[in-house]
Copies of this chain bind each other. A is one copy, B any other.
Amino acid sequence: MTTNADLLEIPQSEQTVFNGLLIHVNHMQVTLPNGQSAMREIVSHNGGAAIVPVDADENLYMVRQHRIAVDEMTLEIPAGKLEYRGADFRDAAIRELEEETGLRAEHVELLTSAFPTPGYCNEILGIYLATGLSQHEDHPDADEFLHVEKLPLKEAVARVMTGEFRDAKTIIGILMAWYHLHGYETPSGK
């Protein structure tokens, strides 16, 4: 951090300007590295967890949903919000997997803990890989409507690369799962 002291913004005061159902918004007055003041609009969110369920034949389970914020029927990896800020990401990932798909996993590994929009929001998203899957009953939330779809992980990678899968956590989960399972060396060794 010593070499980056000239990047540091120092908070001076903070005020909550919106309390919503899902998010809160604060206006934070900061001192910039040059001594001037600026205002940062910061969104507060509980965070979430997502999970990449891959079976023994390397099929991926995804959920199709209507995402009204972007007005699309997206195909995403199973995911959900934390019940409160500070809740356990791994527990949430396992819970969402079973709620949305009915799958349980023998092995759940962290792929990464990502910031979806660090420029203005404190949201953290834990993204996990689930293997050793077994099928049980699903039980989505009362206001959640979704279809589970199964496809080869390799096909999912291809559909990321064509730009078809556009949800950030889904892109991250699929590509990191592929690298994790297969490595990222190419035949040329480059």
Please give the residue numbers on chain A whose beta carbons come within 8 Å of chain B beta carbons, in ascending order: 1, 4, 6-9, 11, 17-18, 20-23, 25, 27-28, 30, 32-34, 36, 38-43, 48, 64-70, 72-74, 76, 79, 81, 110-125, 143, 145-147, 154, 157, 160-161, 163, 166-169, 171-172, 175-176, 178-180, 182-188, 190
Q: Which residues of B contact A9 (CB under 8 A)?
A: 66, 68, 145
Set B28, B112, B118: member contacting A67, Cβ < 8 A: B118
- Whether B168 contacts A116 by the Cβ 8 Å rule is yes
Copies in the complex: 2
Q: In the complex, are the beta carbons of B113 and A163 less than 8 A apart?
A: yes
A116 adjacent to B113 (CB under 8 Å):
no
**A166 lies within 8 A of B112 (CB):** yes
Given A70-B124, A113-B163, A168-B172; 19 other pairs, CB 8 A cutoff: A7-B66, A17-B20, A22-B120, A23-B43, A28-B68, A32-B145, A42-B69, A43-B43, A48-B119, A67-B115, A70-B122, A74-B118, A76-B118, A115-B168, A154-B190, A157-B184, A171-B176, A175-B175, A182-B184
Find out whether the CB atom of B33 lies under 8 angstroms from the CB atom of A70: no
Q: List the B side residues contacting A183 at CB < 8 Å.
A: 186
Instruction: Kindly identify which residue among B41, B143, B176 contacts A20, using a CB–CB cutoff of 8 Å.
Output: B41
Task: Please tell me which one of the listed residues B20, B22, B147, B167 contacts residue A7 in the complex, with CB atoms under 8 A apart.
Answer: B147
- CB-defined A-B contacts under 8 Å, sample of 20: A7-B66, A8-B66, A9-B66, A9-B145, A20-B25, A21-B39, A25-B25, A34-B145, A40-B68, A40-B69, A48-B119, A69-B120, A72-B115, A74-B115, A117-B121, A118-B166, A161-B180, A175-B179, A178-B184, A182-B190
Contacting pair A64 B145 (CB below 8 A) = no
Whether A23 contacts B168 by the Cβ 8 Å rule is: no
